[in-house]
Amino acid sequence: MALISLEMQPATTESAKRFLLAKLEEQAALEGVPLSDVEKEMFLFSEDTVSEKMQALAEEFDAICDEADYEGKVSKLLKAAFRRDKEEPDAVTAWKESLAALKEANFYGLVMVQQAGLPFSRRSVAGDIRLGAGAFLDLAPVTAIALAVGVPGFLIVFDPFQWGLIHSEWIRLALFPVFVFGVWLAVGRYSESEFAKSRK
Question: What pLDDT does 49 receive?
Answer: 77
Q: Residues 84-143: pLDDT tens digits?
A: 998 888 888 999 899 988 888 889 999 999 899 887 555 444 444 555 555 555 556 667
Buried b (16+ CB within 10 A) or exposed e, 115-150: bbbbbbbebbeebeebbeeeeeeeeeeeeebbeebb
Is residue 147's pLDDT more than 90? no
CA geometry: angle 130, 132, 135, nearest 5 deg: 110
State pLDDT tens for residues 113-130. 989 988 755 544 444 455
Domain positions in the chain: 13-122, 132-199
Q: Please, what's the b/e burial string for 57-80 (b: 16 or more CB within 10 A of its CB; e: otherwise)?
A: bbeebeeebeeeebbebbbbbbbb
Q: Residues 161-185, buried b or exposed e (16+ Cβ, 10 A)?
A: eeeeeeeeeeeeeebeeebeebbee
Is 0.85 topped by the overall pTM? Answer: no
Residue 56 and residue 47: Cα distance in Å, rounded? Answer: 13
Distance CA 84, CA 96 (A): 15
Task: State the pLDDT at residue 132.
Answer: 54
